[in-house]
Amino acid sequence: MNGTKQPRLATQRKFRFTNDDLWGYIFIAAAMIIFCVFTLYPVFNAIYTSFFNYKPFGSEFIGLKNYVDTLKYSKFNLFYKAAWNTLVYTAVVVPSTLLISFSVAVMILPFSKKTQSVFKAMYYLPGVASGVALSVVWLWLYDSSPDGLFNQLLSVFGIPAQNWLSSTKTSMLSLMIMALLSSHGTQIITYIAALLGIDNSYFEAAELDGATFMQKVRFIVWPLVKPTTLFLLVTGVIGSFQVFMNAYMMTGGGPDNSTTMIGLLIYNNAFEYGKYGLACAQAILLAIVIAIMSMFQFKMMGVDVEY
């Protein structure tokens, strides 16, 4: 009998809500409230709104119509074109950014702490500037007239002036170049931190075995920074799928919608056309796509990665 009673008493003691528990909840309440107000509530509200023809005074329930309208295939439905543009942008920008950041980090690493800090600050600096200010500078660089800075640079090599942002041949490329040349700070700093965490004994052993620089990078550095790469890849893809500012400021989505990204499409539906429900449905679909992409990346790359 005693033997059966004792575990029950132990279990009861385990689930008693103590004073400590109360204080624990009070301490995490601030974070929980912020999370609920600024993340959870907007997400639930967006899901809820996506089933309505939203109007501030008297929304009309329309079921899945916003989803159907978004996914209904037609050559005039911009959603697929925007999705394709976003995918192409992501496929080029994210891996290129990681490669550039990794290369720069490897090159910075041999320098002294002081020199490293100077480089880190230099690469991080564009991230401090506002996106709008950066866009203005890039608009100036992409001036399509023969006097434009990039066009003058091309003329040195005998290449004719380009209609950078106004031609479908160069508009997406222009946005990609802009992304590739102005946002590496965070990735470089993260990679340097990861590189500094690699034990020196690996390199010493490799040197004894006569490994070249590239062999050390391939067989020691790259596998050991894989968790960092996975993290940067996942966050990079998420950020890239949500890209908005570049297209909004530089091209407005044109020409011929060649730079219309999903983020811009959602913004236009919500704030240009007042189709809040439709915009919410598109935002939810985007979130689902991002979640699937992230899961896929973890599945593919995260097998031997531990956090």
The residues near 286 (Cβ < 8 Å, ≥ 6 apart) are 241, 242, 262, 263, 266
The residues near 162 (Cβ < 8 Å, ≥ 6 apart) are 144, 150, 151, 154, 170
b/e code 179-207 from CB counts within 10 Å (16+ = b): beebbbbbbbbbbbebbeeeeeeeeeebe
Residue 72 found at the interface with other proteins (CB under 8 A): no
Q: Indicate the residue type of 152.
A: Q
Q: Indicate the residue type of 78.
A: L
Out of 6, 72, 91, 169, name the contact with other proteins by CB under 8 A: 169
Judge contact between 177 and 100, C-beta under 8 A: no
Largest distance between two CA atoms of the chain:
96
Near other proteins in 210-239, by CB under 8 A: none
Residue for token pair 């132990």: 10
Comparison of 44 and 111: residue with beta carbon closer to other proteins: 44
Q: Which long-range contacts (CB under 8 A, 24 or more apart) does 105-111 make?
A: 105/187, 105/188, 105/191, 105/192, 105/195, 106/191, 106/195, 106/217, 106/221, 108/188, 108/192, 109/192, 109/195, 109/196
Closest CA to 106 of 237, 228, 239: 228
Question: Considering CB under 8 A, how many residues would be counted as binding other proteins?
Answer: 47
Out of 66, 78, 232, 262, name the contact with other proteins by CB under 8 A: 78
- What tokens does 223 get? 């596998």
Near other proteins in 254-273, by CB under 8 A: 254-257, 268, 270-273
CB of 6 to other proteins, least distance (A): 19
CB of 281 to other proteins, least distance (A): 15
Comparison of 95 and 274: residue with beta carbon closer to other proteins: 274
CB of 134 to other proteins, least distance (A): 16
- What tokens does 127 get? 């991230």
Out of 4, 8, 20, 58, name the contact with other proteins by CB under 8 A: 58
Near other proteins in 271-300, by CB under 8 A: 271-274, 276
Out of 23, 36, 181, 199, name the contact with other proteins by CB under 8 A: 36
Residue 37 found at the interface with other proteins (CB under 8 A): yes
Q: What are phi and psi of 60, to 5 degrees?
A: -115, 130
Return d(Cα 259, Cα 82) in angstroms, integer.
8
CB of 38 to other proteins, least distance (A): 11
Segment interacting with other proteins (CB under 8 A) among 106-114, 183-191, 199-207, 252-260: 252-260
CB of 121 to other proteins, least distance (A): 31
Comparison of 105 and 264: residue with beta carbon closer to other proteins: 264
Residue 3 found at the interface with other proteins (CB under 8 A): no
CB of 146 to other proteins, least distance (A): 8
Near other proteins in 122-161, by CB under 8 A: 139, 143-145, 161
Residue 32 found at the interface with other proteins (CB under 8 A): yes
CB of 276 to other proteins, least distance (A): 6
Tell me which residues touch other proteins (CB under 8 A).
15, 17, 21, 25, 32-33, 36-37, 40-41, 44-45, 54-58, 74, 76, 78, 139, 143-145, 161, 163-169, 250-257, 268, 270-274, 276
